[in-house]
A and B are shown apart, each in its own frame.
Chain A
């Protein structure tokens, strides 16, 4: 097997048993980037010192020390401030910005021994569901390069799926880890809001942003989560909740667990009937493993998108006000059209005379959406739902209709509104295109998500289906 096709678990074993070195592993990924990235456009910056980082890792391994991610090449979405490494947010405004510090999560990954191999492409500022809103060349889906990889963590998904790195970080404000994970056959976590520090990560919507990551397997995902999760002094929205041993949740039986299927999602007009069929197959496997399935209702689902598209642009308009070309970056005319659109929407919704009708009303709807999930979790242990109503679409298919693009998040953004965690797992293929399933749980119950995902993964082989690239 090629080194770049290994899971983190297997790569760690290979490094510890001296089957290969970190330098060889990183070299394999760098070679992969060289071969594929002029087609995929997953990376915006490749670390010039990646091999040097790997040599340092080999020295530490040589001394007999171990760390959770020692020698493992990880890519970072370009919203993550990385000291002395260009960080662009996928935008032209800060195309030459070199952060003077590391985001907390970046620090944690480095302390865990990870090799930072580069910064990945994305919809600029996180604004998008396909990767097409990057101010640079849009990323392609390794499973079909005429199609989108999903967004906004588009580069991160393509990079992991294509073997350009063994894991990549992302952010999920409305879908942006789970959708690219679904479109690229990966495991993607959207944490409970506040579980992972946002400090040093360029803000999109501060009451929605969560800091997640994409991997090939459930174990890999849980391993990274043990590193990134935790209260941070620098982020006042991280509660004092102990970090669970997420990797230990795998292998536990799901017999007797109650899983809910939201009736409002399954009856959505515009859901591809083949996606519905894959969902039914996933449910059948979970039932075979001993889980109980029942219907639940999330009655305010129909208002979730509208709620999201008032609250998020409002917070965006505030967070992007700092880009004034004075302390960093170019002036505001460098914003792309989607950024301008969201800033304008948000400015309007927050302006005098309109605040009550839009922003305040949306905050009240937020309470109702959050309550929907709380009520559902009184009946079930977790909710299962498709991640996307459609298959990965072609580049350009939705680009001209912003509203159409927004609706691709319809199964996703209610989760961000409520602040609960969700995990995307590969659920199958249609016409060689990946279909992903979401497992959604109560706040801070990610162990349960990894338990269910682990059981499902053990009984399926989707992660072995590599893109033919």
Chain B
């Protein structure tokens, strides 16, 4: 059974996975709020779902494919694609370095 009590430490772990930075007050508050919400949703455990298939989408559609063709009318130009990038260089999006020398 999943644990529904949250410590600020637990919150730190999830925040790292979610790439969200939190200050100590936020960690405290979230620990208590997440605890409340998870306690509420945990009542789902009481429902007997043996032999019930999960629903991931309600349309019933399967294998919606298109031909692997380029449609120029639907393409963004490089300028359009970069138009909102905070930092770009020579037609590329510029990002902070992730590899050390």
A residues with CB within 8 A of B: 96-98, 100-101, 193-194, 207, 233-234, 236-237, 239, 300, 303, 305-307, 309-310, 317, 321, 324-330, 332-333, 335, 337, 340-341, 343-345, 347-348, 351, 354, 357-358, 360-368, 370, 402-403, 406, 418-419, 443
Partner of B55, one of A328, A337, A344, A366: A366
| A332–B74 CA distance with the chains assembled, in angstroms | 30
Contact B26 A327 (CB under 8 A): no
Partner of B44, one of A237, A335, A362, A402: A362
CB within 8 Å for A403 and B85 given contacts A363-B55, A366-B54: no
| A340–B18 CA distance with the chains assembled, in angstroms | 9
Contact B55 A100 (CB under 8 A): no
Interface status of B99 (Cβ within 8 A of chain A): no
Nearest CB on B from A369, distance (A): 9
Nearest CB on A from B20, distance (A): 6
Contact A239 B53 (CB under 8 A): no
| A236–B55 CA distance with the chains assembled, in angstroms | 17
Q: What would be 28 A-B contacts, judged by CB atoms less than 8 Å apart? A: A96-B84, A100-B84, A101-B76, A193-B57, A194-B59, A194-B61, A207-B58, A237-B57, A307-B44, A326-B85, A326-B95, A327-B84, A328-B84, A340-B26, A344-B11, A344-B14, A344-B15, A344-B20, A347-B14, A347-B17, A357-B1, A361-B45, A361-B47, A364-B49, A367-B52, A367-B53, A367-B55, A443-B58
CB within 8 Å for A370 and B58 given contacts A348-B34, A403-B37: yes
Contact A332 B33 (CB under 8 A): no
| A397–B87 CA distance with the chains assembled, in angstroms | 42
Contact A328 B44 (CB under 8 A): no
Q: Which residues of B contact A370 (CB under 8 A)?
A: 55, 58
CB within 8 Å for A357 and B45 given contacts A193-B59, A237-B59: yes
Nearest CB on A from B91, distance (A): 13
| A149–B22 CA distance with the chains assembled, in angstroms | 31
Partner of A418, one of B14, B44, B58: B58
Nearest-CB residue, chain B, relative to A402: B33
> What string of 1s and 0s marks CB contacts (under 8 Å) between B8-34 and chain A?
000100110111111000100010011
Nearest-CB residue, chain A, relative to B74: A234
Q: Which residues of A contact B89 (CB under 8 A)?
A: none
Contact B30 A368 (CB under 8 A): no
CB within 8 Å for A326 and B20 given contacts A100-B81, A348-B14, A358-B41: no
Contact B36 A403 (CB under 8 A): yes
Nearest-CB residue, chain B, relative to A419: B58
Interface status of B83 (Cβ within 8 A of chain A): yes
> What string of 1s and 0s marks CB contacts (under 8 Å) between B73-88 and chain A?
0101000110111100
Contact B34 A360 (CB under 8 A): no
Main secondary structure of the interface of B (DSSP, over half): loop
Nearest-CB residue, chain B, relative to A361: B44
Shortest beta-carbon contacts, A-B, top 8: A419-B58, A363-B54, A328-B84, A100-B80, A364-B49, A236-B64, A306-B41, A347-B18
Contact B18 A367 (CB under 8 A): no
Contact B18 A317 (CB under 8 A): yes
Interface status of B43 (Cβ within 8 A of chain A): yes
Most chain B CB atoms below 10 A, which of A300, A403, A406: A403
| A362–B86 CA distance with the chains assembled, in angstroms | 39
Known: A193-B59, A309-B37, A363-B56. 14 other contacts (CB 8 A): A207-B58, A237-B64, A332-B19, A332-B20, A332-B21, A341-B30, A351-B14, A358-B2, A361-B45, A365-B44, A367-B54, A402-B33, A403-B37, A406-B37
Q: Which residues of B contact A362 (CB under 8 A)?
A: 41, 44
Nearest-CB residue, chain B, relative to A356: B2
CB within 8 Å for A365 and B11 given contacts A340-B20, A340-B30: no
Partner of B54, one of A343, A348, A360, A403: A360
| A361–B34 CA distance with the chains assembled, in angstroms | 19
| A310–B38 CA distance with the chains assembled, in angstroms | 9
Q: Which residues of A contact B14 (CB under 8 A)?
A: 344, 347-348, 351
| A194–B64 CA distance with the chains assembled, in angstroms | 13
Q: Which residues of A contact B11 (CB under 8 A)?
A: 344
Q: Which residues of A contact B26 (CB under 8 A)?
A: 337, 340
| A402–B30 CA distance with the chains assembled, in angstroms | 11
Nearest CB on B from A236, distance (A): 4
Nearest CB on A from B29, distance (A): 8
Q: Which residues of B contact A327 (CB under 8 A)?
A: 81, 84-85, 93
| A68–B63 CA distance with the chains assembled, in angstroms | 34
Partner of A303, one of B18, B47, B53: B47
| A335–B18 CA distance with the chains assembled, in angstroms | 12
| A357–B95 CA distance with the chains assembled, in angstroms | 37
Contact A341 B95 (CB under 8 A): no
Nearest CB on B from A326, distance (A): 6
| A418–B59 CA distance with the chains assembled, in angstroms | 10
Q: Which residues of A contact B83 (CB under 8 A)?
A: 98, 100
| A330–B86 CA distance with the chains assembled, in angstroms | 8
Nearest CB on B from A363, distance (A): 3
CB within 8 Å for A233 and B66 given contacts A328-B84, A363-B56: yes
